Structure 1
Amino acid sequence: MKEYKIIIWGLGNVGRYVTKMISQAQSLKLVAVVDTDPTKVGKDVGEIFGFEKIGIEVSDDIDAALKMEADIVLDYLPNMRDQGNSRPTGYTPNVENICRALKAKKNVLTTLPMYHLHKVAPKLYDMIQSCAIENGVTFTQQGIFPGLFNPYLPLVFSSMTGGLKKIIVNGGQDDAFNTSPWVKVFGYGLEPKDFNGQFLQEIITSYYGSTAKVIADYAGIEYNEYRESHEIYTADTALNPPCGQVMPGTISAHKFSMQCLKDGEEVTAFHFIHKVCDDIQKTPAMSDSYHIEGDIVLDIAIKGMIPENEPYASSGAPGVNLIPQVVEATPGIMDAINLPASKPVL
């Protein structure tokens, strides 16, 4: 059995689950973990999360880690942008970090929204592509919300029909127990008049928006218009999530719609909801599902994708299971959909 040596760069919520998963797999070996959080640096990575010690201390020196023998870097750094540019063309800091690892002749796999770049940010695409080819390694973005749920799984399901006309993806996340610092961008508990909805729309749609275009391009569905929209919802009753009290009339939910249209009709889309206390505040309704229209019509619901006990499992596992395929792939940028189907690593 081949052993794959791994560096984790960024030890947040996804890194936590990935650490656990790697420690349980015979074919995977963690050789370095890098993070700048002073509460983690110098401590055994397993001990930080309440696991058994695994003999790897967290370092804040990425250059030293990249000099180590390793097959792949799992990039779980925060999403970073050029100042004043919230669109995909502003992801220069992400690209610089990716290329830093590629230049060390390490394959790179990430959860960051670095996908469809040849269409939405060609200059950034060229930076990664040339760097990967020059160094004989591969870069792969594993999918969006979470893992392979979008845009890759709906494309797989769409192969069940011919005459494909429409693929609509619906997703949602209850942020009531979301401990990530970025949850504050949603302004839960604020008056709508005091909230910059346009800024939030740009952030979210730059992250999720290209999924509708990826699906259209891979499925061969023609469109002549792309549209983004954002709706704010307010609470009907007092809500008390851990992230802060939400009073009636203040922001409790957001719906983001990213759509490819053909002559005004939606043909591919991602409708995504962020909200708090879905068990109490039912509006807007939230689901993780696909609607696919062709010679047959498919409505597929995904249940249990983000469990409370391991909410980041479905973000971390798809990437870990893709490690062998990424390491063995042709150098350059490789979409996950173009890799051989992944299977659980042993």
Structure 2
Amino acid sequence: MAIERPYRVVQWATGSVGKAAIRHFAQSPRYELVGVLVFTAEKVGRDAGAIAGIGPIGVAATNDVEHIVALDADCVFYAPVSPDIDAVCRLLRTGKNVVTTTGPYHPTEFARADFERIAAACAEGGSSFHGGGIHPGYAGDLLPLTLARIASRVDHIHVHEVVNFRQEPSKYIEWTGMGKTPERFRAEPALLGAAVPHFAQSMAVIADGLGRSIDDITVAEIEIATATADIPYTGTPTSDIPGVDGVIPAGTVAGQRHRWTAWSAGAPLITFHAEYTMGDADIEPAWNCGHSHYRLVIEGDPPTELVLRAGRGPDGNPVYLGYTWTAMAAVNAIPAVCAAAPGPVGHLDLGLVRLPGVVHPKPGR
């Protein structure tokens, strides 16, 4: 049942994605932010709006999980870096719906046990759960299926995620292995290598939507590019992570290309490409990736391409919206998730969601 009053929401974690959600909750008349959980001592007691960079909104952040669990709320936007399924299930058992960007996203073999626990918690609390985001999520499953709707035949879907870290420095620069020697990079685990089971869940959504099943997922050898000179980077005024700065030394990894392919009936059906770079200058080979964007390609009839990129800011350059897109792809599903029957609800269950609260007055009006 749709809620006529504002949705009472809790923000769990206030990293870059959580901050983007707080800004939306504070500005949209469809939401009332009733609680914010933080995990660093310097944020405890601070106004959530100040944490999100928009000024006070009258909600103090807390690190008291028991207080958050006891709140009367319709939904929790759960946005830590990695999920704690015990915490998610506890929230669901209290009757709070949960929308998250950390997964799980779809009941593949990797995520099936977590989904079973979540389903049991939903049944106990009469609540619903949804995992989404930008990728995994929207750019990696909903957008390809939307594009496939105008195709007569789909042979092979490609999803390219291009991230330009020189455009927008991030804490993920080190996590992805940038700045390591090529030898060390290939020998040590990397963030994107560990992401395959998560991307596989979006692949499964696409396959299910196309009426196919995935038989196998293959991983191509990683391509790397190295810095031909030292590449300094400094956090920008628009960054949600001020103070991010450093140097990628000459001769170390400054670009990486990953490719994963899902096979169905003996043929490649879906390929995800991840291209992460420290820009286009001072890198060999020069890939000329440009600004951060998503590019979708359908091989079939008719052959079709779509590029999703941010608009241009005051300086004329595209801004980086990865964190905002990640947050809003999930946040905008909250009304539909609250209205859904108890249990896990995926993209294919929700269908085309309505978006109350997206159109609202600009701040200051």
% identical equivalent positions: 25
Do the aligned partners of 1:255 and 1:274 also contact (CA within 8 Å) in 2?
yes
Shift of 1:220: 2.2
Shift of 1:181: 3.7
Tell me what 1:299 maps to. Answer: 305
State which of 205, 225, 236 in structure 2 corresponds to 1:233.
225
Of residues 59-68 and 332-341 in structure 1, the stretch that sits farther from structure 2 once superposed is 332-341
Tell me what 2:269 maps to. Answer: 267
Tell me what 2:123 maps to. Answer: 133
Do the aligned partners of 2:294 and 2:307 also contact (CA within 8 Å) in 1?
yes
Which whole-Å CA distance do the structure 2 matches of 1:298 and 1:67 have between them? Answer: 49
Shift of 1:177: 6.0
Do the aligned partners of 2:39 and 2:63 also contact (CA within 8 Å) in 1?
yes
Matched, 1:172 2:174: no
Shift of 1:120: 2.2
Which whole-Å CA distance do the structure 2 matches of 1:97 and 1:182 have between them? Answer: 25
Shift of 1:314: 1.0
| Compared CA separation, residues 20 and 53, structure 1 to 2 (3 A) | same
Matched, 1:27 2:30: yes
Do the aligned partners of 2:258 and 2:274 also contact (CA within 8 Å) in 1?
yes
| Compared CA separation, residues 264 and 146, structure 1 to 2 (3 A) | closer
Tell me what 2:67 maps to. Answer: 64
Tell me what 1:83 maps to. Answer: none
Cα deviation, 1:127-162, whole Å, max 9, x if unaligned, reads: 111111221111101234275211111111111123
Q: Structure 2: give runs of 5+ residues left out of the alignment.
A: 235-244, 313-317, 358-365
Question: Helix, strand or coil for the counterpart of 1:194?
Answer: helix
Which whole-Å CA distance do the structure 1 matches of 2:340 and 2:281 have between them? Answer: 44
Shift of 1:208: 2.5
Question: Helix, strand or coil for the counterpart of 1:176?
Answer: coil
Of residues 244-253 and 267-276 in structure 1, the stretch that sits farther from structure 2 once superposed is 244-253
| Compared CA separation, residues 210 and 258, structure 1 to 2 (3 A) | farther
| Compared CA separation, residues 113 and 275, structure 1 to 2 (3 A) | farther
Partner amino acid, structure 2, of 1:345: P
Tell me what 1:42 maps to. Answer: 45
Do the aligned partners of 2:136 and 2:202 also contact (CA within 8 Å) in 1?
no
Which whole-Å CA distance do the structure 2 matches of 1:133 and 1:42 have between them? Answer: 34
Of residues 146-155 and 30-39 in structure 1, the stretch that sits farther from structure 2 once superposed is 146-155
Do the aligned partners of 1:168 and 1:291 also contact (CA within 8 Å) in 2?
yes
State which of 295, 306, 323 in structure 2 corresponds to 1:289.
295
Tell me what 1:312 maps to. Answer: 323
Matches within 5 A, 1:315-330: 315-330=326-341
Partner amino acid, structure 2, of 1:217: D
Partner amino acid, structure 1, of 2:68: A
TM-score (norm 2): 0.83
Which whole-Å CA distance do the structure 1 matches of 2:193 and 2:175 have between them? Answer: 12
Of residues 167-176 and 278-287 in structure 1, the stretch that sits farther from structure 2 once superposed is 278-287
Do the aligned partners of 2:219 and 2:260 also contact (CA within 8 Å) in 1?
yes
Let me know the Cα RMSD of the aligned residues.
Answer: 2.4
* Aligned residue pair count: 333
TM-score (norm 1): 0.87
Of residues 211-220 and 25-34 in structure 1, the stretch that sits farther from structure 2 once superposed is 211-220
Which whole-Å CA distance do the structure 1 matches of 2:58 and 2:270 have between them? Answer: 47
Which whole-Å CA distance do the structure 2 matches of 1:8 and 1:103 have between them? Answer: 17
Matches within 5 A, 1:142-221: 142-145=132-135, 148-176=138-166, 180-197=170-187, 199-200=189-190, 201-221=192-212
Shift of 1:247: 3.0
Partner amino acid, structure 2, of 1:251: V
Question: Helix, strand or coil for the counterpart of 2:287?
Answer: coil
Of residues 203-212 and 295-304 in structure 1, the stretch that sits farther from structure 2 once superposed is 203-212
Do the aligned partners of 2:232 and 2:248 also contact (CA within 8 Å) in 1?
yes
| Compared CA separation, residues 175 and 312, structure 1 to 2 (3 A) | same
Which whole-Å CA distance do the structure 2 matches of 1:344 and 1:279 have between them? Answer: 41
Matched, 1:76 2:82: no
Partner amino acid, structure 1, of 2:319: E
Tell me what 1:336 maps to. Answer: 347
Shift of 1:296: 1.6
Do the aligned partners of 2:107 and 2:201 also contact (CA within 8 Å) in 1?
no
| Compared CA separation, residues 147 and 164, structure 1 to 2 (3 A) | closer
Of residues 54-63 and 332-341 in structure 1, the stretch that sits farther from structure 2 once superposed is 332-341
State which of 256, 278, 283 in structure 1 corresponds to 2:258.
256
Partner amino acid, structure 1, of 2:198: Y
Do the aligned partners of 1:169 and 1:290 also contact (CA within 8 Å) in 2?
yes
